[in-house]
Amino acid sequence: SRLTFKAGKLNTYRFCDNVWTFMLNDVEFREVQEVAKVDKVKIVACDGKNVDDRR
């Protein structure tokens, strides 16, 4: 299924060692018929490739 989100404010973002970290405030998540609102969200995203595979 597909999920979308929209943040009222991007509080902090950081990129270190191929890892992104986002701190969001006032976030709304939407699915087809459902909506969830939260005050704070932390999203951590990293590269799925192994470091050795890039060489």
Considering the domain boundaries, does residue 28 fall inside one? yes
Range of the domain at 13: 4-47
Considering the domain boundaries, does residue 54 fall inside one? no
pLDDT at 48: 79
Domain harbouring 41, CATH code: 2.30.18.10
Decide if 42 contacts 12 (C-beta within 8 A).
Answer: no
Number of domains in the chain: 1
Decide if 49 contacts 35 (C-beta within 8 A).
Answer: no
- Phi/psi of residue 45, each to 5°? -130, 135
Please give the span between the terminal C-alpha atoms of the chain, in angstroms, as a whole number. 35
pLDDT at 54: 54
Mean pLDDT, 10 residues at a time, the chain of 55 residues: 93 94 97 95 88 59
Tell me the C-alpha distance between 41 and 5, whole Å: 11
Considering the domain boundaries, does residue 52 fall inside one? no
Considering the domain boundaries, does residue 55 fall inside one? no
Question: Global pTM?
Answer: 0.75
